[in-house]
Amino acid sequence: MIETQTLTLAEIEDLAFRALVKAGTTEANARPLAVATAMTEADGVASHGLAYIPIYAEHVQCGKVDGQARPVLTQPRPAVLVADAATGFAHTAIDMGFEKLVPLAREQGVAVLAVNNSYNCGVLGIHTLRLAQAGLLSFGFTNAPASVAPWGGSKPVVGTNPISVAAPDGKGDAEVLIDQSASTIAKSEVMKHAREGKPVPEGWVLDADGKPTTDPEAGLKGSMVPSGGYKGVNQALMVEIMAAAMTGATLGAVASPFSGTAGGPPKTGQFFIAIDPDATSGQMFGERLKALTESFREQEGAFVSGDDRRVKRLRAREEGVAVNAALLERVRAIA
C-alpha cells in the first residue's frame, strides 16, 4: 500500500515555490509555476503536479530552463500579443501575456497570445481554465519534443501536442474543459511508469521498430500511439502549426526532450485564443451552452469533459490532496 500525506493547496503551492527558489529560480518565475502545480494537484493530474518539481529543479540547475529568465511581451497588431519566454518557464510568459490578453479580448471581441522560446507549460488545461474563469471562451495549443510518428511511419516527428478548449459557465468557472493530447496517453504517464518500474497498458506505446510493447523504457525510445490512429496524428500536426509555426518556436522534431538533462533549452511554444462569447452570440452563449451540456448530463452515466476535474477541484479546496509520501520527501529535500 502506497503511503500518502494530505496537504492543503496552499501547502502544495508553498512547498513547490520554496523548492523552485532553492534550485535557482527567481521568486517571480517560481510563483506562477507553484500556483499551477497546486491547481494541477487539485484537478487530480498528479503526474504533472509535485512529481515534476524535482525535474524542474534539475533542469534549472543543468540549464535546460533558465530560472532567471525575464520574458518580454510585445503587441505587433491590435489584437495580437507575442511573449518571448527567453528560454524560461512558460508559466511566467503566459501570466504576463494573460494580464493583457483578458482585457484585450473583452475590448476587441477576440485576441491571441503567441509564446515562443519557452519550456514545458505543464497541464495546458490549467491555463485555458483561467481564461474561462475570466468569462472567455479559450483555445490553447502547445507543442512538445517529437514522440509521435506520422501515420504509416516509424520515426517521431511531432510531440504529444495537447489541445485544450475551456468554455465559461458565467459563474467564474468552466462549464466545459477539454484537455487532451494527440497520443492515447500523455507521455508523462509513460515516464511515471518507467520511474516506478511498472509496465504500461497495451496500446500506449510502440518500440523503436514500430511494434506494440508494454515496456515503458522501450516505448520512450520508440513512439507514442496516436489517439484514433491518423486522426491523432492530424491533431498533433495542427497543434504543431499553431504552437510552433505560428509562434516561431522550435519544431518538435528538433526540440530537445523535456526529460533528461541533455540538449539545452527546448524553446517550444504555446498559442492561446481568447474570445468574448457575447461578441458573436448576442448574449445567448450561456443559455445555449447550458442546454448543450445538460443534454449530456441528463443521460445516466454520461458526463461533460471537465466534470471530473471540477469535482476533484472543489473537494481539494475543502479536504486537501493526498500526496505520495516518498515524493514529498524528495521535494522537501530540495526545498
The catalytic residues are 47-48, 189
Q: 153 with 165: CB under 8 angstroms?
A: no
Q: How far apart are CA 85 and CA 136, in angstroms?
A: 24
Q: Cell numbers for 84, please give them.
A: 518571448
Q: Cell numbers for 290, please give them.
A: 447550458
